[in-house]
Structure 1
Amino acid sequence: MQPPPVPDTSVPAQSGAAPSGAAPVVETRGLTKRYGGGRPAVDGLDLSVPRGSVFGFLGPNGSGKTTTIRMLLGLIEPSAGSARLLGAPMPGAARQVLPKVGALIEGPALYGFLSGRDNLLRFDAADPTADPRTRAARVGRALERVGLTAAARKKARAYSLGMKQRLGLAAALLQPRELLVLDEPTNGLDPQGMREIRALVRELAADGTTVFLSSHLLDEVEQVCTHVAVMAGGRLVTQGRATELGAGVRGRLAVTTPDTADAARVLKEHGLTELIVADDRITGELPTADPPDPADLNAALVRAGVRVRAFGTERASLEDAFVALTGEGFDVAG
């Protein structure tokens, strides 16, 4: 078996591009997991994760994301279908593949009686590919990268949930990885911690690491991911570039004016629906069939005597796309 192609690090992390002809880092065909006789937790999943991407695996809690990740990493066996990681079949090639993969799944399992640093030393010692002569330096770099240097000697049982998440991420980063799999990596973090993890993900992608990021936080995915897959009820709803996910979903027009009643009347006459008025701002959904030219709308508002202070269109967000694709709110468990 030929080794996976070397990542093209000249591609910007946010470009969503992968080297031409590169094989997918993650690929599944009909991947299915059934527990007992009920509905499958994962049902016929066909997934393709491009090399060099930051791939957002998106879906509400209970949609099958963590079960999928467990099958990808060989932690559980599928009921049907197949999965390949870095070009090799899983779970059969786990011994060859997993040393190239870092993972943080459902929160880290830590030794509470050990310090953060000693936890990482223990994890590193369990890696047969890790050089013991450089272990201390490797652990130090990982702690610094996730912002835990000052708390390195503190017992892990005294760590907050967010600190435990950081320590688990540090463990995943002890060695250079071709693929980093993160399951809800910002769970328990404060807003500043979430910003730091997002920055770290971008940095890793820029260095050539493919990042597979499972999350139910739309804002998190929208800010860092180049590609997205949407799960609901164990099934794949859609996948593709993040910038294209909202294609076909109606955008919104926003007008700021003190004359909201008159503005609403004009917008309705031009086919806008779902009008929402908040103080001096009114928004409405543009029709998908033959949408009006925004310049014509603006002119119509002015002719009607509406004092327009601000005017513009808003692209469909990931939340808009999710609701349009699944017909349900994002907090509904699959």
Structure 2
Amino acid sequence: MPPSADSSSYAVETRDLAKVFGSQRAVDGIDLQVPTGSVYGFLGPNGSGKTTTIRMLLGLITPTAGDHQILGHPMPAELTTALHRVGSLIEGPAFHSHLSGMANLRRLDAADARSDASTSDQRIHEALDRVGLKPAAGKRFRAYSLGMKQRLAIAAALLAPRDLLVLDEPTNGLDPQGTREVRHLVGTLAADGITVLISSHLLAEIQQICSHIGVMRAGKLVAQGSIDELRSTQTAQLVVHTPDPEQAAQVLARLGIGQVQRDGDVVTGTPGTEPPERISAALAGAGVRLRRFAIDRPSLEDLYVSLTGEGFEVRS
């Protein structure tokens, strides 16, 4: 069955997309849905199928099974039409080291059969300005920092108007400053209305710029949705620090708080749908003295670990 006819709400949509290499099922029938206008974080351990999926989306490799569409265009039937509106950075930038940033972009622009030579210089200057590289336009590529090289690659992806930007590990190998540069750039592009699909291992990057995530594990898409929606599916924990733990535990049990436990002066439980203000009011009304009252929600890292069973690289 092809992706749904009502594709306006999705910049990328797949149905049962799969890729098999010999006996290895690298991507196992995934239904990816990237909302238009979102910054979609595509997460998963190395070898989980993220890059293979991205390569299928962009027509670089042929799916073994399934269907997908990009910006409402069925692929690969309308590949040329769709990809003209898509910019991408896959597995790092590739430029001529002896040429300047501007000269590299001129070569790429000239290779695009659809580009207008009469507006080439204007578009190149605008792309460089957009990624903050205009002052370094005449500098040779080999003298660029890693962050500058990644930004130049994004500038190359933006030489023509784009509705979708696909970035595969854009901060891989970057120092914290380079990571911040790319993260800020992605935020500005999203603010301009460009849908961004970004694969990454960096928790800080995803938390700060992504509105939605999809999590891959062993070729399967194990979860997707907005970050808030997915975090809300995880069980929150009520934590009460009090010199009256026995009394607090009794109050919580009467309220129907689940899994009430005591550990010294700390009482914990699962609040479910009980409003925090009602819990705190009941404790105070019973004379329970509170040193700390909190409902701890699972972090994105907690969610990732619960879905994949693996740690998340954390770097700011």
Bin of the TM-score, shorter chain as denominator length: 0.7 to 0.9
Deviation for aligned residue 1:143: 1.7
Aligned partner of residue 36 in structure 2, secondary structure: coil
Kindly indicate whether residue 101 of structure 2 is the aligned counterpart of residue 119 of structure 1.
Answer: no
Match of 1:37 among 23, 40, 52: 23
Partner Cα separation in structure 2 for residue 66 and residue 290 of structure 1:
39
Q: Which residue of 1 aligns with 2:117?
A: 132
Q: Which residue of 2 aligns with 1:324?
A: 306
Q: Go from structure 1 to structure 2 and tell me whether the alpha carbon gap of 1:133 and 1:268 turns closer, same or farther (over 3 Å shift).
A: farther
Kindly indicate whether residue 180 of structure 2 is the aligned counterpart of residue 195 of structure 1.
Answer: yes
What letter corresponds to residue 215 of structure 1 in structure 2? S
What letter corresponds to residue 326 of structure 1 in structure 2? T
Aligned partner of residue 246 in structure 1, secondary structure: helix
1:116–1:151 contact (8 Å) kept in structure 2 = yes
Q: Which residue of 1 aligns with 2:270?
A: 287
Q: Go from structure 1 to structure 2 and tell me whether the alpha carbon gap of 1:119 and 1:251 turns closer, same or farther (over 3 Å shift).
A: same
1:103–1:180 contact (8 Å) kept in structure 2 = yes
1:252–1:284 contact (8 Å) kept in structure 2 = no
Name the TM-score, length of structure 2 as normaliser: 0.81
Deviations 1:67-99 (A, max 9, x none): 100000000111111221122222332222111
Name the TM-score, length of structure 1 as normaliser: 0.77
Partner Cα separation in structure 1 for residue 182 and residue 172 of structure 2:
11
What letter corresponds to residue 87 of structure 1 in structure 2? G
Q: Which residue of 1 aligns with 2:192?
A: 207
Q: Which residue of 1 aligns with 2:76?
A: 91
Deviation for aligned residue 1:243: 1.5
- Which 5+ residue runs of structure 1 have no aligned equivalent? 1-19
- Which 5+ residue runs of structure 2 have no aligned equivalent? 1-5, 253-258
Partner Cα separation in structure 2 for residue 199 and residue 274 of structure 1:
44
Partner Cα separation in structure 2 for residue 241 and residue 304 of structure 1:
38
* Further displaced range: 243-252 or 99-108: 243-252
Partner Cα separation in structure 1 for residue 249 and residue 92 of structure 2:
49
Q: Go from structure 1 to structure 2 and tell me whether the alpha carbon gap of 1:30 and 1:305 turns closer, same or farther (over 3 Å shift).
A: closer
Match of 1:24 among 4, 7, 10: 10
Q: Which residue of 2 aligns with 1:14?
A: none
1:251–1:285 contact (8 Å) kept in structure 2 = no
Deviation for aligned residue 1:159: 2.5
Deviation for aligned residue 1:165: 1.0
Aligned partner of residue 129 in structure 1, secondary structure: coil
* Further displaced range: 109-118 or 83-92: 83-92
What letter corresponds to residue 186 of structure 1 in structure 2? T
Deviation for aligned residue 1:153: 2.2
1:100–1:177 contact (8 Å) kept in structure 2 = yes
- Aligned residues, how many? 300
Deviation for aligned residue 1:100: 0.7
Q: Which residue of 1 aligns with 2:156?
A: 171
1:23–1:87 contact (8 Å) kept in structure 2 = no
Aligned partner of residue 270 in structure 2, secondary structure: coil
Match of 1:227 among 203, 212, 237: 212
Partner Cα separation in structure 2 for residue 300 and residue 291 of structure 1:
13
Q: Which residue of 1 aligns with 2:39?
A: 54
Deviation for aligned residue 1:313: 2.6
Partner Cα separation in structure 2 for residue 274 and residue 49 of structure 1:
44
What letter corresponds to residue 141 of structure 2 in structure 1? A
Kindly indicate whether residue 14 of structure 2 is the aligned counterpart of residue 63 of structure 1.
Answer: no
